[in-house]
Structure 1
Amino acid sequence: MHRLTVRHGRDEIEQRYHVAGSGPVCVVHPGGPGIGWEYLRIPQLERTMTMVYLEPIGTGSSGRLADPRGYTIATYSHFLHQLIQHLRLEKVALLGHSHGGFVAQRYVLDHPDPVAALVLYDTSPVTGEDFWTAAVAGIQRFAQHHILQRPEVATFANDLTTRPDQWDDGGATAKLRRIAPAYFHDYWGRETELADGRAALRMWAAPAWGEEPPFDIRGELPRVAVPTLVVAGAADFICGPPWAQMIQEQIPGAILSILEETGHLGHIEHPGRFTTVVDSFLTG
């Protein structure tokens, strides 16, 4: 584990990160907000890349904001920039997953120079009412499909829409792990293989208190000038193909890859497919 101290307003906050592998550097920002970095470790990419996994503030061993309302995309982008500057490299690749993809999009718009390539993984250029309506409809379809064999799915839609700020860290983690099967295409059909990935999910509640308007950078994306890969699981109910296509259509020259029979966690569900697509883009 590595660390640096970042000034944020009047405070100095410790930012932790982890380094694994060898080769060109790829900085990785996990999702959430509030999900720990461990679930997004990608050992297959560490064979060809030096993977730098950021441990978002408010999670794990990184520091905490004095005012939890400050957990915003702009704040995460600020800490990401400090880490990239700390690495003292001319260029890095940047991979953002889910909410981390929001951060990566904001970052590359504000700081394009350090970014050699961008991977936007199961994310969206917009949130707001339409986004969440679609997400709830998606998890409801999942529940309807499984309700007879798995009655516990009846609570999944409610769990998704209950803000984690109603829970402590243990409760937030328990809720995330409870609904985790919905983030896979076929969790129960492959539970022996995928259970460790589910167990790697940890969530901290405070980042859910961040206060900011709905995310929407659709009008800004045409300014992205770095090579960009957009990856989405075909069965991802929350950040699936419609949102990925929206990004791809807005960023000049962006490449879109849809992973079939894959949900929101393709690097766990189909690591070979995911790694081949990302590695070919970053090193090919």
Structure 2
Amino acid sequence: MPHYTSYDNTELAYRVLEARDGSARPPLICLAGGPGRNAAYLGDLGGLDAHHTLIIPDSRGTGDSPPATDPSGYSFPGLAEDLEALRRHLGLNRFPLLAHDAAAATAQAYAAAHPEHLTHLVLVCPGARLQGQLPEDAREIFESRADEPWWQEAYVAVQLLPDTTDFGEVRRLLLQAAPMAYGRWDEPQRAHAAAEGEQLGPVPRAGFWQGVDEAGRRAVLARLREVPCPVLAVTGDRDAVTGVRAGELVAESFPDGRAQPLHGVGHYPWVDEPDLFRPLVEDFLAGRPGRP
């Protein structure tokens, strides 16, 4: 895997999926969430490499990137500065950015600090923790699925996870709760979920939200109001992890933001419905009118 040198001289890894059509347009940098999850779970994002070269970095302590020497390196503002180092390494003046799940916080921190370098921002199933809110609709989506055969075991896992400290047990409970993150629980979803436990790094996961106080959070939000690039928040109407309302709140934080829910989709739209997710993102990046 290629590497780049970040702000503290750490060598960090990234993966390149070349555009299959040979496109020479600026690459789409794609950030993995988790937090602290190996970016392998992104795959090719439902075939987004058809017309776009994808640059997929391994954040500190995940994949082929070494752990941080300072705990602040795991925080999302620190990861945003890693992204800026990657931009410089690639020689990009302006580029589109896609971030999934918790990495939406990293992407927002980057947009607040370096708005001049973004052409488009795609936030996939973001939470609204940076916005200071925890909408109730994710819980409502979860409860609405109570007649599905996996639901009772998932419910038990959800209750136990907050107080579980043994990471082996955390991994087991995450797999037990996994169906709530998908629009349906078929073979592609089962295979995708089975890899999650081994892809999570407990130290990067624990450090992601550290070091940002209330004043810092508000400062980031204030700067988002000045971000000029268009922003798309993609949500899934069956996402019982972050729900739909969080994406709406995130989109509302930008002057040119919009949210687009996808029907029958959970927390991983490219796994559930790649033929809905891929054209939505492609149209947005091309400046074409969005489709529902």
Other-structure match for 1:64: 67
SS of the residue 1:264 aligns to = coil
Instruction: State how far apart, in whole Å, the 2-side matches of 1:72 and 1:149 are.
Output: 34
Instruction: State how far apart, in whole Å, the 1-side matches of 2:145 and 2:258 are.
Output: 32
Q: After superposition, where does 1:1-284 map in structure 2 within 5 Å?
A: 1-8=1-8, 12-22=9-19, 23=23, 24=25, 25-41=27-43, 42-68=45-71, 70-127=73-130, 130-131=133-134, 134=136, 137-138=139-140, 141=143, 144-146=146-148, 151-162=152-163, 166-168=165-167, 172-187=170-185, 191-201=186-196, 202-210=199-207, 211-212=210-211, 213=213, 217-283=220-286, 284=288
Instruction: State how far apart, in whole Å, the 1-side matches of 2:172 and 2:137 are.
Output: 20
Deviation at 1:173, TM superposition (A): 4.3
Cα 1:142–1:60 shift into 2, 3 Å: farther
Cα 1:105–1:140 shift into 2, 3 Å: same
**Aligned-pair identity (%):** 24
Instruction: State how far apart, in whole Å, the 2-side matches of 1:209 and 1:194 are.
Output: 26
Q: Tell me which amino acid in the other structure corresponds to 1:203.
A: L
Q: How many equivalent pairs are there?
A: 273
Query: Which runs of 5 or more residues in structure 2 are unaligned?
Result: none
Instruction: State how far apart, in whole Å, the 1-side matches of 2:163 and 2:73 are.
Output: 20
Q: Tell me which amino acid in the other structure corresponds to 2:80.
A: S
Q: Tell me which amino acid in the other structure corresponds to 2:5.
A: T
* Residue range with higher mean Cα deviation, 245-254 or 119-128: 119-128
Please tell me whether the aligned partners of residues 234 and 260 of structure 2 are also in contact (alpha carbons under 8 angstroms): yes
Instruction: State how far apart, in whole Å, the 2-side matches of 1:93 and 1:206 are.
Output: 29
Q: Tell me which amino acid in the other structure corresponds to 1:194.
A: Q
Instruction: State how far apart, in whole Å, the 2-side matches of 1:123 and 1:56 are.
Output: 18
TM-score, length-normalised on structure 2? 0.83
Superposed CA RMSD = 2.6
Q: Tell me which amino acid in the other structure corresponds to 1:178.
A: Q
* Residue range with higher mean Cα deviation, 42-51 or 152-161: 152-161
Which whole-Å deviations, capped at 9, do the CAs of 1:128-147 have from their partners, x for residues lacking one? 8852x74883586267444x
Q: Tell me which amino acid in the other structure corresponds to 1:58.
A: G
* Residue range with higher mean Cα deviation, 208-217 or 46-55: 208-217
Instruction: State how far apart, in whole Å, the 1-side matches of 2:97 and 2:151 are.
Output: 38
Q: Tell me which amino acid in the other structure corresponds to 1:3.
A: H
Q: Tell me which amino acid in the other structure corresponds to 2:268.
A: L
Query: Which runs of 5 or more residues in structure 1 are unaligned?
Result: none
Q: Tell me which amino acid in the other structure corresponds to 2:56.
A: Y
TM-score, length-normalised on structure 1? 0.85
Instruction: State how far apart, in whole Å, the 2-side matches of 1:141 and 1:36 are.
Output: 29
